[in-house]
Amino acid sequence: MTKERLYLFDTTLRDGAQTTGVDFSLEDKRLIIKTLDELGLDYIEGGYPGANVTDTELFATEHTLKNATLTAFGMTKRAGRSVSNDPGFQAILQARCGAICLVAKAWDYHVRVALGITNDENLEGVAQSVEAIVRQNAREARGGAGREAMIDCEHFFDGYKANRDYALAVATSAYKSGARWVVLCDTNGGTLPHEVSEIVAEVTKHVPGSHLGIHTHNDTENAVANTLAAVLAGARQIQGTLNGLGERCGNANLTSLIPTLLLKPEFAKRFEVKVGPEQLKKLTHASRVLDEILNRAPNRQAPYVGEAAFATKAGIHASAILKEPATYEHVVPDSVGNRRRVLVSDQAGKSNLLYELERLGVPVGRDDPRVAQLLDEVKAREAMGYAYEGADASFELLARRLLGTVPDFFHVKGFRVEVERRYNSNGTLITVSEASVKATIAGGEEVWSVAEGNGPVNALDQALRKDLGRYQGIIKDVELVDYKVRILTGGTEAVTRVLVESRDKATAERWFTVGVSPNIVDASFEALIDSITYKLLRAGAAA
C-alpha cells in the first residue's frame, strides 16, 4: 500500500512569536529556520513582511533551504481597495519566498464586528488575494515552480458552528481561486477532538483533503489530539510550533506530533512525512535550540524530548528496564534523540547505579566493592537532604571522587559575604551584596577576588568566577541560569537544599549541581563549587 503524504508546516516564527516575552532577532530566526529545515519540515513560516523591520529584512534576501519552503504570512487585501492599490498586500507579494499564507476571516461574526464589511466583500477579498498570487506566478514563472498560495481560515470551527454555509463558502472560495492549501484554524482553541473529526470530514466534501490543513491551539490541552483527529478525518497539512510555543496555552506541539506520526503504527503505516528516522533523532536537539534562544529552562516533562520522558526511579522498575527496556518505554528514547535515565536516589538499587556509572563513562567493575560503598554514600547523603536525581553533575563528581579521579583544580581557603541595607545619597533604600573569595589554584597561584551582586549568592558566584587563574579561559562562558532553594524540615532544625543550573554559552551545555547546609549561603557555595569543578573536569583541564 502506498502511503499518503502529510505536509508539516512550522509556524514557530510567526504564531509562536505572538507569545508574551518572545521576541526573535533576525539571527535567532535564521538559526531556527536552519534547525527546522534540517529536521525535514515542508514549510517554515518566517514572519510577516512589512509588519516589522526584522521580518521585512528576513524576506528581502533569498534563502536556500534543503527541505523546506520558506513562507511569508500576511492578510488578504483590504476591502474597498484593489490588490495593486493595497501597499500591505504588495509588500507580501514582494517577499522572497516560495509560499504565501494569508489569514482570512471565516466567521461571519468577525467579518461584521472586526472588519466591518459585508460577507460578500470578505469572500471577494479572499478570492482576489489568492488569484493575485497565482497571477503573479504566471507572470514571473518563478523557476517554473510557482509560488504556493495558502489561506488560514481564522476561527473556522467557531464560524462553522455559528454559520456553517458561510465558513464553507470562505474555504471553497479560497480553494476555487487556486489556493494550494486551505487551512482550518481553531483560533480560540476551544474545539474538542470529536467536533474536529465531524467538521473536517464534512469540509472534505467541499474541499479535497489533499488541500486541507489544520491549525489548532491548546486551550483545552487538545491541540495535538485535535490535529491527529483532523488528519484521520482527511486533512493533509499540519500546522504547529516547536515545543508548542504560542500565545495563551500554545499551539499544536510539533515536537510531540512528529514522533507520533513516525513511531505510532496507526499513523506510520498510512502516512509519510519528509522527516525520516535519522532526522527524527535531531528532534530533542531542535527542541533544546529553541529553549536556548528563548533562554528558558527546557520542560523536563515534555513528551518524547523532556529530561524526564524516559526516566525511572524505583529500583524494581529499574532492574526490569535494564533487562528489557520495552517493558516501561512506549518508544525507544534514542529514536527521538533522547536517552533513558535511571535515576539515582535513595530507592536506587545497585543496577541503577551501575547503569548511571556506565552512562557517565566512569570505569568500574560490576563486583567492585566501591560500588556498594558509593550506594551507601548516596543513601547517607540523601538522608541529609541531597537530591541527586536533579543534579547529574554533582552525582558524577561524587562518584568520580570516590573512585579517585577528580583532580584538585583549586581550593577555596575562605570566603566572606556581606549584605548591607542602607539609604543611598538620593535617600533611596538599597540593599548591596558584596563577596570576597580567597583561593589557591593548582600549581600554587593565590587569587583574591571581590565582586558585588544583586544578592549574597549572586555576589558569591560573581566573585568565584571572576578570577580562577589559568582556568579562567575555560569557565569564562559559564553562567548560572537557574537557582532553586528548598527548605527541608526533616529533623529538629531546618536544612536548606540549593539546586543550581549552569550553562556554557559557547557550547549550550547545561548541568545541575546540588548543595546542602543549614546555611543558605553555604549550600549555594557548595553547589557553585561543584558547578565550576564539573566544567573543568568536562573540559579535561589539568591540575
Element (H, E) at 311: strand 311-312
Q: Which is nearer to Zn ion, 16 or 515 (CB)?
A: 16
Q: Which is nearer to Zn ion, 45 or 86 (CB)?
A: 45
Q: Nearest residue by C-beta to Zn ion?
A: 15
Cβ 230 to Zn ion shortest distance, Å = 14
Name residue, grid cell 471553497.
172
Q: Which is nearer to Zn ion, 48 or 511 (CB)?
A: 48
Q: Which is nearer to Zn ion, 15 or 392 (CB)?
A: 15
C-alpha cell at 383: 538522608
C-alpha cell at 108: 461571519
Q: Is 434 helix (H, G, I), strand (E, B) or coil?
A: strand
Contact 29, 1 (CB under 8 A): no
Cβ 172 to Zn ion shortest distance, Å = 22
Cβ 460 to Zn ion shortest distance, Å = 45
Q: Which is nearer to Zn ion, 115 or 402 (CB)?
A: 115
- Give the integer Cα–Cα distance in Å for 88 and 514: 54
Q: Which is nearer to Zn ion, 10 or 15 (CB)?
A: 15
Distances, alpha carbon 203 to alpha carbons 424, 464, 526, in Å: 68, 63, 62
Geometric angle at alpha carbon 165, from 131 and 152, rounded to 5°: 45
Bridge-based pairing state of the strands 311-312 and 341-342:
parallel
Cβ 100 to Zn ion shortest distance, Å = 17
Residues 457-476 that bind Zn ion (CB under 5 A): none
- Give the integer Cα–Cα distance in Å for 212 and 421: 63
- Give the integer Cα–Cα distance in Å for 501 and 496: 16
Distances, alpha carbon 240 to alpha carbons 35, 148, 234, 237, 330, in Å: 15, 19, 17, 10, 23
Which of 300, 298, 328 is closest to 313 using CA atoms?
Answer: 328
Q: Which is nearer to Zn ion, 170 or 499 (CB)?
A: 170
Binding residues for Zn ion, rule CB under 5 A, total 1
Cβ 26 to Zn ion shortest distance, Å = 23
Half-sphere exposure of 219 (CA within 13 A, CB side): 12
Q: Which is nearer to Zn ion, 12 or 502 (CB)?
A: 12
Could you tell me which stretch among 13-21, 95-103, 462-470, 485-493 binds Zn ion (CB under 5 A)? Answer: 13-21
The contact mask relative to Zn ion for 21-50 (x = CB under 5 A, - = no) is ------------------------------
Alpha-carbon dihedral of residues 360, 366, 370, 374, nearest 10 degrees?
50
What single letter denotes the amino acid at residue 72?
A: A
Within its chain, how far is the Cα of 370 from the centroid?
39
Q: Which is nearer to Zn ion, 15 or 42 (CB)?
A: 15
- Give the integer Cα–Cα distance in Å for 504 and 1: 49
Distances, alpha carbon 367 to alpha carbons 9, 18, 351, 403, in Å: 53, 56, 11, 14
Cβ 15 to Zn ion shortest distance, Å = 4
Which of 359, 369, 367, 424 is closest to 392 using CA atoms?
Answer: 359
Cβ 124 to Zn ion shortest distance, Å = 24
Q: Which is nearer to Zn ion, 54 or 241 (CB)?
A: 241
Q: Which is nearer to Zn ion, 12 or 496 (CB)?
A: 12
- CA dihedral (136, 139, 141, 142) positive or negative: negative
- Give the integer Cα–Cα distance in Å for 530 and 524: 10
What single letter denotes the amino acid at residue 249?
A: C
Could you tell me which stretch among 9-17, 367-375, 385-393, 508-516 binds Zn ion (CB under 5 A)? Answer: 9-17
Cβ 40 to Zn ion shortest distance, Å = 22
Q: Which is nearer to Zn ion, 50 or 240 (CB)?
A: 240
Cβ 187 to Zn ion shortest distance, Å = 6
Backbone angles phi, psi at 106, to 5 degrees: -115, 0
Could you tell me which stretch among 8-16, 276-284, 354-362, 478-486 binds Zn ion (CB under 5 A)? Answer: 8-16
Residue 15 lies near Zn ion (rule: CB under 5 A): yes
C-alpha cell at 239: 500546522
- Give the integer Cα–Cα distance in Å for 246 and 359: 35
C-alpha cell at 171: 474555504
Cβ 246 to Zn ion shortest distance, Å = 7
Could you tell me which stretch among 7-15, 224-232, 271-279, 406-414 binds Zn ion (CB under 5 A)? Answer: 7-15
Q: Which is nearer to Zn ion, 160 or 310 (CB)?
A: 160
Could you tell me which stretch among 12-20, 401-409, 465-473, 523-531 binds Zn ion (CB under 5 A)? Answer: 12-20
Residue 10 lies near Zn ion (rule: CB under 5 A): no
295 Cβ contact list (under 8 Å, min separation 6): 481
The contact mask relative to Zn ion for 101-130 (x = CB under 5 A, - = no) is ------------------------------
Residue 526 lies near Zn ion (rule: CB under 5 A): no
Cβ 154 to Zn ion shortest distance, Å = 8
Cβ 47 to Zn ion shortest distance, Å = 14
Q: Which is nearer to Zn ion, 24 or 409 (CB)?
A: 24
Could you tell me which stretch among 11-19, 84-92, 276-284, 304-312 binds Zn ion (CB under 5 A)? Answer: 11-19
Cβ 328 to Zn ion shortest distance, Å = 36
What single letter denotes the amino acid at residue 235?
A: A
Cβ 292 to Zn ion shortest distance, Å = 24
Distances, alpha carbon 332 to alpha carbons 60, 243, 304, 313, 339, in Å: 42, 20, 9, 18, 8
Could you tell me which stretch among 15-23, 126-134, 288-296, 475-483 binds Zn ion (CB under 5 A)? Answer: 15-23
Contact residues: Zn ion, CB under 5 A: 15
